[in-house]
Structure 1
Amino acid sequence: MKSFILSLLRMYSGHLPGVLVFSFFFIISNMREAKILILLILLVCTNVKLFTEEGSVIFIRSVDSTTLEPSKSEEFYSSEVIANIFEGLVRFKKGTLEIEPCLATRWETRNNHTEWLFYLREGVRFHNNRPLDSDSVVSVFKKELGQEKPGSKRQWFFFPYIERVEAVEKYVFKITLKKPYAPLLPALTDSAALIVAPESYQEDGSFNPLGTGPFKFKSWDKGNSLIIERNSDYWDENATVSSVVFKVVQNAAARTLNLRNGNADLMRINSAVEYEELLGRKDIIIKKDLNPDVHYLAFNTRKFPLSRVDVRKAFAHLINKQGMIKHVFQTMAVPAVTPIPPSLFGFNKSIKDYRFDIPKARELMKNAGLESGFSVNLFIAAKNVGQQKIANIITINAKYLNVRINQIKLPFAELVRRCDKGEHDIVLLGWVGPPDPDFFLYPLFTMKPGNKNRAFYQNRELSALLEKAKVTLNPEKRLQYYWRAQEMIHEDLPWIPLFHQESLVAFHNNLENLVINPNTYIEFKYLSKNN
């Protein structure tokens, strides 16, 4: 109760009368008459509006961004903001998986798809008024290629395949590849490939987010709110809303309360509890989209006994995915059988999932000589209600195998940092990528630099197969390679695919044209708000 009250006060303390805030904290310190206090807060919240300008929207979310530098973004909350500030050479056509021109108006390939010419859009300017031309694009690519001062690389899907980049003409940019790379165009939609103004990189090492997108960076009070404002000089149709406030509210009850009371315009639904609380309200609309994502339980395969396949399979037989999803998400997710979402090209529909079978799990542990069990640490993200419930289910079921799970709850940025160092035994994570099978297998199951193989899984045959799939232009042959790769992963089981989650956004009915792109980011340039 105290944490819920503090969450409300944290969100509203800057907008309430000082005497009232002081009185609230005094009451909290004594924790007397808590019910009266909550009633007071609810009454105040229903009449309090965050100070925002006309046409601004407030988007409340559970986690803050960690960076606005595209090449350093490793999580969804940063990438969604970045996608509204920066743009790439290409983008997804509204509401589809079809690639269409963006900063490049057209492109052509030569020499067996190893040479790509991109014809840049003329008249585009960065947010600092610098014109977009081939020199500025070359500057960004060279930085990430390490030919100039290198940036921090994340899941660089295609950079290792680039031989060189060059400005052919003022508005013609050329990429020469070392070998063909089949998913190049989808890769160019990822935040890792967005075009950044050269002046964004400051001499002191800091980063000033200057893109070409429909919104410009305005301010960031870290841990509290991040604001982007409309770019009135945008080359395409201007955004309708004047600004977007990304407001952090960690407490789930406080988020739904603020949406219901009109103190926020929209929020992402993270649990069935939130969904039920908002469902059926006439003033709130819930938009559903099946994400190209996968949520999974990864084993650190460098650590005994998780290095043993039979132990990992025992865990797989412990998890009732259907029951877990119904308990945690109801209809908001579907079970995952392989890492590739079923809606994407390359999904292997012939693979049968491990069934929920505790006797089979015990048999595997006994055959491994581990019937007495062991202890492991499970890393989970703090303040994530859905993930906490999943962790509890796994922890309880593990007791059937005499496996003792110690849950370690960490802020997301720290969780990622410690997992990269291999400090975890097992970890609950999710992954969102461009809609191509390469982005759901290669970064997660190979040990190439920049990849996110949190299982530390190494399989030379699989790595070679995925490398071959990357450079194969024939769709039928690519499909065969990816089907075989999924079979190998399913057999070795470095991590258990748990579910693919629907993207649910709840918003007031005075908002229109809410668009979620295939990378699951809200494109605020389409959004309109009626007073």
Structure 2
Amino acid sequence: MKKVLPLIFIILSSIFLVSSGYSQVAPTTLVYGRGSDSIGLDAAQEEDGESFLVCESIYDALVQYKQDSAGIEPALAESWDTSEDGLVWTFHLRRGVKFHDGTDFNADAVLFSYNRQREENHPFHNVGKTYIYWNDLGMNDIIGNIEAVDGFTVRITLKRSYAPFINVMAIPPFNIVSPTAVKKWREEFTSHPVGTGPFKFVSWARNDRIVLEANPTYWGGKPNVQRLIFRTIPESPVRLLELQKGNIHIIEFPNPDELDIIRGDKNLTLLEVAGINVGYVAMNCKQKPFDNRKVRLAVNHAINKQSLVDNLYRGLGIVAKNPIPPTVWGYDDSIQDFTYDPKLAKQLLKEAGYLNGFSTTLWQMPNPRPYFPDPASIVVQIQSDLKKVGIDAKIETREWGKYLEEVRAGTHNMAMLGWMADFVDPDNFLYTLFEPDSTQNIAFYRNEKLRDILVTAQKTTDHAKRVQLYKEAQRIIHEDAPWVCIAHAKQVAVISKKVKGYILNPITWKHLWRAQIER
């Protein structure tokens, strides 16, 4: 009871605080509720979904995903051509587009946006943080030259074939920024973003809200609402209550325990689509005892994933056996998942020299994502399963930005994390998460044979060959077991029935501007 009362007090206090400041929401304002804040709003320097969520409404890329599919459509580039060998891409830019600061969008802005990431001697390359995606995707090994043919034509020449290229150009780190604004704000640009997108940045109260206003001259058409607000509400019950009261219109990643309440509320609509994601526990392979394959295998056999998914996902997830989900082509269904077998886990630990088990740390994500809708409950069950085979895992957590920073640095033993697809290609999972030098490789797993296979798969345009290469890659990863693949989950959102024109897409939030509120 001592633990329950403070929790009730915190939740009730939170309800009072959020409600008192948002007693009414104008029908011209769309409010999006989420569990954690963005880290930064310069998409080129970020990696997390909460940052990209907001950036998608502020910026545009040359191309973008369609509202209701993973298809590519024109954005700041009206059209594009490619050479027969796939090495030269020519983008014909949209004319008459303005950045939110009134400056012109043109080929120079495209070159600035890409070259600040690409060129170490660029005057703004070392301003702010590093360019995580550019580096992790190995773009400097792929792109050879970027040039302005004229004021509205950009030519990009690749060093080698790169099958996912056009899809990569649609993701937030390849958004086009205002050169004038970057030069003005420098390191602070991440808190004062300027793009060409459907909404302009207004203000940011950290861990509370980000306010955007409609861009009336948006090239795609005027947004249907005047303001878009992203509110940070960490407690899932409070987010749902605020939605029911009409103070917010959309919430992401509801707790599975709330599904019956949501389905029974005539004023709400539960949106579900097949997810393109994976939730996993990474074991730090550069640290003992996880540098020992038998220990990693033991951990895989120790965790009862089916029970975890049945009890904590409530129909929103399936057990994962591969790093890529079955919704992505190239998935190898022939791989046999590790059985839940505590006896075998103990035997493997004994063979590895840990007859009496060992103590370690298990890091818990601080906020919900589709693949881990209730991280606190999930990590407790994992901890309990590990305890049964002699592994004493102390649970630790961090604030979201610090969490990502520290797992990239490798200060963890075991850590929960996951991946939501940027584009529907096995490369986005396998190369990004297992390339030895990628900052997303938080297992610090190194396998040069695997890397060679993944690079070969990038280079070939033969789809059947790529499928076989990615299946081989999955078999290698399964054999070495640097992760415990936990679950693939549906993408879920809950919206007020007053919201019209909102389509849930598992790989983009680009089209929030099309949503409107019924008066």
1:327 partnered with 2:311: yes
Aligned ranges for residues 369-388 of structure 1 at < 5 Å?
369-382=353-366, 384=368, 386-388=374-376
Question: 5+ unaligned residues in a row in structure 1: which ranges?
Answer: 17-47
Name the aligned partner's letter for residue 112 of structure 1. Answer: D
CA apart distance, 1:100? 1.4
Q: Which has the larger radius of gyration?
A: 1
2:481 pairs with 1:493: yes
Counterpart residue number, 2:133: 155
2:153 pairs with 1:168: no
Q: Give 1:203 shift.
A: 5.1
Partner of 2:61: 88
**1:36 maps to which residue?**
none
Offset from partner CA, 1:199-234 (integer Å, 9 cap, x none) = 231355210311111111111100111111111110
The answer as to whether partners of 1:138 and 1:165 remain within 8 angstroms in 2 is yes
Match of 1:523, SS?
helix
Aligned residue pairs total 499
Name the CA distance, whole Å, in 2 between partners of 1:63 and 1:97: 26
> CA separation in 1, counterparts of 2:238 and 2:347?
46
Report the TM-score, using the length of structure 1 for normalisation. Answer: 0.90
CA–CA separation in structure 1 for the residues paired with 2:187 and 2:383: 43
Q: For residue 402 of structure 2, what is the aligned residue in structure 1? A: 414
Kindly indicate whether residue 321 of structure 2 is the aligned counterpart of residue 337 of structure 1. yes
Please state whether the residue corresponding to 2:302 is helix, strand or coil: coil
Q: For 1:61 and 1:508, how far apart are their aligned partners in 2?
A: 15
Q: Read off the aligned partner of 1:475 and give its amino acid letter.
A: H
TM superposition shift of 1:145: 0.4
Q: Secondary structure at the match of 1:499?
A: strand
Give the structure 2 partner of residue 98 of structure 1.
71
> Is the deviation greater in 192-201 or in 163-172?
192-201
State how far apart, in whole Å, the 2-side matches of 1:470 and 1:341 are: 19
CA RMSD of aligned residues (A): 1.8
Distance in structure 1 (CA, Å) of the matches to 2:111 and 2:317: 41
Identity %: 28
Distance 1:8 1:84, change over 3 A: farther
SS state at 2:334 partner: coil
CA distance 1:277–1:54, change in 2 (3 Å): closer
Residues 183 and 436, structure 1, Cα contact 8 Å, conserved in 2 = yes
Matched residue SS, 1:105: strand
Partners of 2:187 and 2:486 in 1: CA distance: 39
Q: Which amino acid aligns with 2:284?
A: N
Are residue 206 (structure 1) and residue 181 (structure 2) matched? no
Partner of 2:463: 475
Which of 23, 31, 45 is the matching residue for 1:72? 45
Please name the residue that 2:94 is paired with: 121
- Contact 1:71/1:192 (8 A) holds in 2: yes
Aligned residue for 2:336? Answer: 352
For 1:296, which of 253, 262, 280 is the aligned residue? 280
User: 1:167: how far off?
Assistant: 0.2
C-alpha displacement at 1:197, in angstroms? 1.1
1:92–1:517 Cα contact (<8 Å) kept: no
Q: Matched residues in 2 for 1:49 and 1:462: separation?
A: 52
Q: CA deviation at 1:178?
A: 0.9
Q: CA deviation at 1:15?
A: 6.9
Distance 1:11 1:123, change over 3 A: farther
Match of 1:218?
202
Indicate whether 1:195 and 2:195 are aligned.
no
1:94-138 Cα distance to aligned partner (Å, 9 max, x none): 211111111111111126111110111112211112221111101
Q: TM-score if structure 2 supplies the norm length?
A: 0.92
1:442 equivalent to 2:431? Answer yes
Deviation at 1:468, TM superposition (A): 0.9
User: After TM superposition, what 4+ stretches of structure 1 lie above 6 angstroms from structure 2?
Assistant: none
**Aligned twin of 2:216:** 232
Are 2:264 and 1:260 equivalent residues in the alignment? Answer: no
Unaligned residue ranges in structure 2 (runs of 5+) = none
TM-fit CA distance, 1:413:
0.9
CA distance in 1, matches of 2:283, 2:18: 44
- SS in structure 2 at match of 1:217: strand
- CA gap of 1:244–1:415, structure 2 versus 1, over 3 A, is same
Q: Is 2:436–2:447's contact at 8 Å kept on the other side of the alignment?
A: no
The DSSP-based 3-state class of the residue aligned with 1:481 is helix
Counterpart of 2:150, as a letter, is E
1:427 lines up with 2:415 in the alignment = yes
Instruction: Tell me the CA shift for residue 518 of structure 1.
Output: 3.9
